[in-house]
Chain A
Amino acid sequence: MIVRISDDALARALGADELAQAFADNGHEVQRTSSWGMHWLEPLVEIDGNGFGPATLEDVDAILDGSTEKAIGRIEGHPFIARQQRLTFARAGKTRPTSLEDYEATGGWAGLRRARQIGGAQIVEEVTASGLRGRGGAGFPAGIKWRTVANTPSEQKYIVCNADEGDSGTFADRMVMEGDPYALIEGMAIAGEAVGASQGYIYVRSEYPDSIRKLSEALALCAALIHPFKCEVRVGAGAYVCGEETSLLNSLEGKRGEVRAKPPLPAIEGLFGKPTVVNNVLTLAAVPHILAEGGSAEYGALGIERSKGTMPIQLAGNIKHGGLFEAAFGITLKELIYDIGGGTESGRPVKAVQVGGPLGAYLHPDQFDIRFDYEAYTAADALIGHGGIVVFDDTADMGHMARFAMEFCAAESCGKCTPCRIGAVRGVEIIDRIRAGGRPADPVESQPVMHNAPKSGRLPEQEIALLTDLCETMKYGSLCALGGFTPYPVMSALRNWPEDFMPGQEGAVRKVLDRGEV
C-alpha cells in the first residue's frame, strides 16, 4: 500500500517524519509529498486519495485496519479544497516536491519551453496581459517591471526572488519552496528569458531551514534543464527589513540590509548596480502557468477589476481551519473566516483580524464584508500585503497589539531613516503613556528656569493627538513600508478598539480622532 505524507516544514514540526517511519516499519511504501494546505489536519495521511488526520503515532494501526475516527474521506472532495481555484498551488498535496518526474508529469517546464519559442518581447506581453501583480505586497504590475528591465541595456542583468517571507501569518512562499520548488525556478528562468538575464538568486530567510534545503536540492537536480540560466540560493540572517527589495539587494551584495532611496529603481540599477527583476516567490511561481498555452487569458479572466488572477490566502492565528486557500480575488473576509475558516479555534467570538502581516491594519468584524482586492483594501486604509490573515478572539488586547506593532518596528528598523528609527521608539512610549493615563508633570520641566517647557503634564487625549501626528510623520516620511505602514495596525487598533487604550473613555478617543488629525 502506498502511504502519502507531507514533508512540508509544518507537517514535520507536527511529527510527520516519525509517522512516516511508523508506516514504513509496518511494511508500506511511504511517499513524501507536498502539503495540501489543510493545516489543522496535519500530519495528514493519504491512502488511495482518502485522508486521515491529524494523525499521531497512536493512530497508525487504526488507519491501517480502517477503524480510525480520523478519516476525512476523499481529500480532493473536501470542501476546503473543492472551494479553491488552485493555479499557483495546483500541485499542492499531489506531487513529491523535488521529483523531476512528478513535475514533468504535471505540466512542468511547458511554460519555459513555450517561453523559449516565443521570445522575450512576447513573454513580457503575455505577463502584462494576464494582469499579474507583485504578490509581495505592493501589487506592482509584473509585466511593467519586466519591460523596464528588458528595455534597460546592460551586459549583465539579474533575476532576484524575494523569499524573505518575514510577515507573521504568511507561509505561502514557504509552501511553494518546500512543496513545488521547480515552479519557482521555472518562473525565474522564464523571467530570465524575458529580460535577458542569465543569473538568478533566491534570497531565503534563515528561519526556513527546510526551504533552503529543498531549493538547493531542486536547483542541483534541474541545472541542466534551466541552462543557460543559472540560479543559486542565498540565506538571510534574521533581519525582517531584508524583505524590502532594496535592503534585500544590499544584503545580497554583502552589506548591511539598509533600505536604498528610490529612484533609481532596482529595475534600472539593482543588484551590483545592474538592471534587476525583484519579484516575490508567489509572483514568480504564478508565471509558468501564465506562459503555458492559453494561460495568460485564463489568468486574466479571473479576479475582479484591476486585481486579476488568484491570490493564495493564508488563514492563520486563532482560526479553526487554518491553512492555504487560493482563490480568485473578490472573496470577502466573512466567507474566509467563518465559512471556510470555521471561526476561531478557541470557540470564542472573533474580535479582530489582521490582514497583510505585521504592517497590515486590524479589521473589525463590522468591516468583514470587504472584498479581497488591492484597491478595496487601500480604500479602507488597509492592505492585502502578502495575503496573510491572522484571526484574534475576544481575549486579545488591541492596545497591546498596537504597542507590539511599534515595538516590532523599533526592533527591526534598519535605522536609515529617522521617522522609522526614532518614531517607532517614541511610538511605544506614547502608547504606554496613553494606557497609563497620560504624562505627569515633569519635575525638571517644572523648574522656573525652564522657560519654554510646558508646566503641566499631558492628558491621555493629548497623547493620542501626539500619536496620530507621529503616525502621520511615519506614514509619509519613511523610506520604506516598515516605517511607512506601521501606522496601519496602530491607528486601526486605536480607531476600532479605543476601549483597549482608554477603558471607559472611548468617547474621548473618538473626539480626538474625529477632529481630523488622523
Chain B
Amino acid sequence: MSTKELRIGEIVGRHKGREGPLMPILHDVQAELGCVDAESEALIAKALNLSRADVHGVVSFYHDFHSKPDPRPEVQLCRAEACQARGVEALVPAAEKAAGERVKLTTIYCLGLCSAGPSARVGDRLYARLDAKGLTQVIEAAQ
C-alpha cells in the first residue's frame, strides 16, 4: 500500500462511524495532504461505498478543497461589502505587488470582523484594521 492509501485509510477510519462523514474526511485530507486529488477521491469513494463522481462533485463544490497542492503560503483578504466600505479595494494593487509569486493572495467573503476592516487571515491568525502598510507586513511575513 502507498503512503497515501495508508494516510487516507487512517483518516477515513477516524470518521467512518459518524453520521455524514464525508465533509470531516475531506477537511482532514485537505489539511494533512495539502489537497484532495483524483487519487484521494477514488480512495475515499471506495472506503465510503460512494461513486467517484459523488466525491468529486462534493470536492469541486466547496471553495476550501483544492485538487492540486499549492506550497505557497496563503493570505486571504476579505473583500466583501463591509470591508469595501472601509476601503479594502484601494489596498489591493499594493497587496498583489507584495504577494508577487511567493504568496498566494486570495479573496474571501467575510471574516466577521466587519466593524474593523479591512481584514485578512493567514492560517488561523486573523488581522483587522489593516492599512496598506499593515497588509504589506502581513503578506511579507506570511510563511
Contacts and interface: CB of A to CB of B under 8 A. Distances in A.
Interface in A116-173: 165-171, 173
B73 interface: no
Nearest to B83: A168
Contacts of B114: 168-171, 314, 316-317, 322, 388, 390
Interface residues of A, number: 61
A91 interface: no
A237 B62 CA distance: 6
B112 A165 contact: yes
A432 interface: no
A487 B21 CA distance: 36
A238 interface: yes
A345 B83 CA distance: 13
A199 B20 CA distance: 13
A13 to B, nearest CB: 4
Given A9-B126, A235-B23, A237-B23, A14 B116 contact: yes
**A199, A210, A240, A322 interface centre (most CB from chain B within 10 Å):** A322
Contact of B113 (A9, A239, A255, A414): A9
B126 A390 contact: no
Contact of A168 (B58, B61, B109): B109
A414 B60 CA distance: 11
A413 to B, nearest CB: 11
Interface string A405-432: 0001000101000000000000000000
Contact of A170 (B84, B85, B112): B112
Of A206, A234, A390, chain B has the most CB atoms within 10 Å of the CB of: A390
Interface string B69-95: 000000000001111111000000000
Contacts of B86: 317-318, 345
A197 to B, nearest CB: 13
Most chain B Cβ neighbours within 10 Å, of A9, A272, A391? A9
Contacts, number: 149
A272 B19 contact: yes
Contact of B109 (A234, A240, A319): A240
A252 B126 contact: no
Contact of B126 (A13, A354, A393): A13
B57 to A, nearest CB: 5
A404 B84 contact: yes
Interface string B23-55: 110110000000000000000000000000000
A396 interface: yes
B62 A318 contact: no
B82 A257 contact: no
B107 to A, nearest CB: 9
A252 B23 contact: yes
A167 B23 CA distance: 22
B20 A316 contact: no
A412 B61 CA distance: 10
B115 A323 contact: yes
B112 A239 contact: no
B58 A234 contact: no
Nearest to B48: A254
Given A252-B20, A412-B109, A39 B82 contact: no
A237 B64 contact: yes
Interface string B1-37: 0000000000000000001111110110000000000
A354 B58 CA distance: 33
A421 B23 CA distance: 24
B21 A13 contact: no
Interface in B97-143: 108-117, 119, 121, 124, 126-129
Interface string A189-208: 00000000001000000111
A174 B111 CA distance: 10
A512 interface: no
Nearest to A166: B110
A244 interface: no
Given A168-B81, A237-B63, A317-B85, 14 more contacts: A13-B126, A166-B110, A171-B113, A206-B27, A207-B112, A209-B124, A209-B126, A210-B126, A255-B22, A314-B114, A316-B82, A392-B85, A396-B84, A396-B85
Interface of A: 9-10, 12-14, 39-40, 42, 165-171, 173-174, 199, 206-210, 234-240, 251-258, 272, 314-319, 322-323, 345, 354, 358, 388, 390-393, 396, 401, 404, 408, 412, 414
Ranked 8 nearest A-B pairs via Cβ: A322-B115, A254-B22, A238-B63, A168-B80, A237-B62, A317-B85, A316-B114, A13-B126
5 contacts: A208-B112, A209-B126, A237-B23, A354-B81, A404-B81
